[in-house]
Amino acid sequence: MTLEQEIKDDYRVVSGWLLYYDERRRSYERKREEILHSSTSKPLAAPPGGGISDSTGKRGAKLGDMKNISDWLALIEEVETSLPPKMRLFLRLRREAVYTKTYLRGRPGWVAYVQEHYAREMAKLNKKRPSDYWVEDRTLFAWWDKIVTYTAIKASKRGLLG
C-alpha cells in the first residue's frame, strides 16, 4: 500500500468516527450496560469436572475488548471540546448533514445543508441577518480538513490508527 493510500484510509477512519460519534457512543453505552448487567453462569474452559465460574472476569474481559472504542470516543470528545465555538457548530451540522439526502450535482450534499443552517444559527445567536454569516464552500472544506487532520494526528499519537 502506498503512503498516500494509507493516509487516505486513516482519514476515512477518522472521518467515520467524527461523523458517527453519536451513534457509536449510544452503541457503546448499550453494549457496556449489557455486559455489566449480564449474568453468565457458564464455567470457564477448564479440565473436565473442574470448571470455574468467573462471571466478573468474563465481564472484565468483554469490557477490555471495548477499550479501543472507548479510546476513540474519548479522543473525539477531546477534539470537539478543543474546537472554537464556530467550528463546534460546524461539526454538529456536518454530522446532521450525513442524514439529509440532497440531490445536488457537482458538490457534496452536506455543503448546502451546512451553509444554510450555519448562517441561520449564527444569525439567531448574534441577532443579525443570515447573509452576514454565509460561509463559502472552500472554507467549509478547509474546516473539515483541519478537524480531520488534527484528529488523525492525535489518533496516531495514541496508537489508534494502523
CA distances from 46 to 51, 53, 58, 65 (A): 5, 10, 14, 22
Say if CB 84 and CB 100 are below 8 A apart: no
Question: Mind listing the pLDDT tens digit of every residue in the chain (162 residues)?
Answer: 899 999 999 999 999 999 999 999 999 999 988 888 876 555 555 555 554 456 666 666 666 678 899 999 999 999 999 999 999 999 999 999 988 766 666 678 899 999 999 999 999 999 999 999 999 999 999 999 999 999 999 999 999 997
73-105 pLDDT per residue, tens: 999 999 999 999 999 999 999 999 988 766 666
Task: Give the cell for residue 103.
Answer: 440531490
